[in-house]
Amino acid sequence: MTMRKKIGILGGTFNPIHIGHLLLAQYAFEQAELAKIIFIPSGVSYMKQDIPILPAKDRMRLVELSIQYHSCFEVSDMEILRPGNTYTYETLEELKRKQDNHYYFILGADSVFSMEKWKEPARIFKSCTILAAVRETTDKERLRIKTEDLKQKFGADIMLLDFPRIDISSSEIRERLKLGKSIHHMVAPEAEEYIYKNQLFKR
C-alpha cells in the first residue's frame, strides 16, 4: 500500500504573491512536517469580484518565480483552468480524486470564523485538515470556542500554526506601485523584477 503524503494547500488570489505568503508556507511546511506545498492561484473568486485582479498568466508566473528555489513548493493552475466561480471544496475533492493524500488547507486563523459561510463547508472539512495560522493579535479564546464548534458540527480537524505578525498585504503592494514607491523586500526579487518589467498594477 502506498503511504499517503502530507500535502499542504495554499490557495489565494496572489495579486500579487508576497513575502507573507512565502513565510506562511514555510512555517506550515516545518510545523506540520509536510512533504510539499501546492500554491493554487484562484480563478474567478466569488468573494473578490470588486477588486482589479491581474490576468491569470501573470499571477501564475509571479508564484512560479517566487517559489523556484524551494524544491518542496510547487504551483498548480487547476483553479485558473476551471470555468466559472472557484470553490475550495471542488479543489480539494479534485485533488483527492487524483491522489488520495492527506491534505492540509493553510489559512489565517481569522478565516476560521467565516468558514461556515463558505460554499459546502462540510465537504471542505471532510476533505482536509485545516492549518490555521495564529498571530499574536488573534483572539485565542474566541478561536478555541469556534474550533470546538466546528469540530462538533462538522467533525473538523483544525491544527493551529504559530505564525509571527507580518504587516504586508497584496493591497498595500498594489497601492505602493501606483504611487511609484518601492516594494523591495516585500516580494521575492524575481517577482519584483517581473512586476517592474511588465509594468504590472500601473495601468
Q: Is residue 10 part of a domain?
A: yes
Q: Domain for residue 126, yes or no?
A: yes
Asked if residue 183 belongs to a domain, the reply is no
Q: How confident is the model at residue 22, as a pLDDT?
A: 98
For residue 45, the model assigns a pLDDT of 59
Would you say residue 111 lies in a domain? yes
Quick one: pLDDT at residue 14? Answer: 97
d(CA 121, CA 106): 15
Question: How far apart are the C-alpha atoms of 14 and 187, rounded to whole Å?
Answer: 11
Please check whether residue 89 lies inside any domain of the structure: yes
d(C-alpha 61, C-alpha 57), whole Å? 6
Contact 195, 15 (CB under 8 A): no
Domain span including residue 157 = 6-168
- The reported pTM is 0.94
Cell digits for 97?
480524486
- Whether residue 121 is contained in a domain is answered as yes
Q: Which pLDDT does position 143 carry in this prediction? A: 97
Q: Give me the pLDDT at residue 85, please.
A: 86
Residues 146-200 have pLDDT tens digits of 999 999 999 999 999 999 988 899 999 999 999 999 999 999 999 999 999 999 9
**Does residue 184 form part of some domain?**
no
- CATH code where residue 20 lies: 3.40.50.620
**78 occurs within a structural domain:** yes
From the CA atom positions of the chain, what is the Rg in Å? 17
User: How many CB atoms neighbour CB 135 within 10 A?
Assistant: 14
Asked if residue 147 lies in contact with residue 111, where contact means CB atoms within 8 angstroms, the answer is no
- Measured distance CA(177)–CA(192) in Å, rounded: 11
Total count of domains within the chain: 1
Low-confidence residues in the chain, pLDDT < 50: none
